[in-house]
Structure 1
Amino acid sequence: MIDFEKVLYDLCSPIVDDKASLSVKLMSTLDEKEILLYVYANSEDVARLIGRKGSMAGSIRQMMSVASRKEDKKITIKFESY
């Protein structure tokens, strides 16, 4: 089984400045085929992760989608700042 939290953290950590503030949480859903992941970071780092017009966020979601196909899951990723 793939540790999606670790994979997403490893994708995001080189992009952010403050790696200590980066956190990835797996949340439960009612659908057993769906995985919901939240990325928490400070607002400046979240802006960097989302990118212009969502280009970085789209790329991160696409890479995680490829990883999830092996386990026949759908991944939803939300970016939150604090």
Structure 2
Amino acid sequence: MKTIEDVLYDLVLPLVEDEKSLSVQRLASLDENEIILTIYAESADIARLIGRQGFMAQAIRQTMSIGSRVLDKRLNIKFESY
């Protein structure tokens, strides 16, 4: 079974130009019912992942929230560029 980080990585991989610049990491949370995932990519790729008015980011979050319901966890996805 894939981890939630792997699922998110596989979901956003076709949307970025340079797959080597893409990284998905799980951050520690004080709340045991919350999963915090951060997507790191180059600024041009992050702009593509967020999309106009955040539509792509919202779609990614909604898609991933379906999987987090199975885990009975709240999912928080952040987008970071480097």
**TMscore range, shorter length:** over 0.9
Among all aligned residue pairs of Structure 1 and Structure 2, give the percentage whose two residues are the same amino acid.
59
Aligned-partner Cα distance in 2 for 1:2–1:28? 19
Deviation of 1:27 after TM superposition, in Å, equals 0.5
- The aligned residue for residue 51 of structure 1 is 51
- The aligned residue for residue 22 of structure 2 is 22
Aligned-partner Cα distance in 1 for 2:62–2:22? 20
Deviation of 1:37 after TM superposition, in Å, equals 0.3
Letter aligned with residue 9 of structure 2: Y
Over the aligned positions, Cα root-mean-square deviation in angstroms equals: 1.0
Aligned-partner Cα distance in 2 for 1:76–1:2? 18
Judging changes above 3 Å, is the alpha-carbon distance between structure 1 residues 37 and 74 closer, same or farther for their aligned structure 2 residues? same
- The aligned residue for residue 65 of structure 2 is 65
TM-score, length-scaled by structure 1: 0.97
Aligned-partner Cα distance in 2 for 1:34–1:51? 25
Number of residue equivalences:
82
Structure 1: runs of 5+ lacking an equivalent: none
Runs of at least 4 residues of structure 1 off by over 2 A? none
User: Which digits, 9 at most, give the CA deviation of each residue in 1:14-73, with x for residues without a partner?
Assistant: 000011000000001011100000000000000000000000000000011001000100
Structure 2: runs of 5+ lacking an equivalent: none
Deviation of 1:2 after TM superposition, in Å, equals 5.2
Is it true that 1:75 corresponds to 2:38 in the alignment?
no
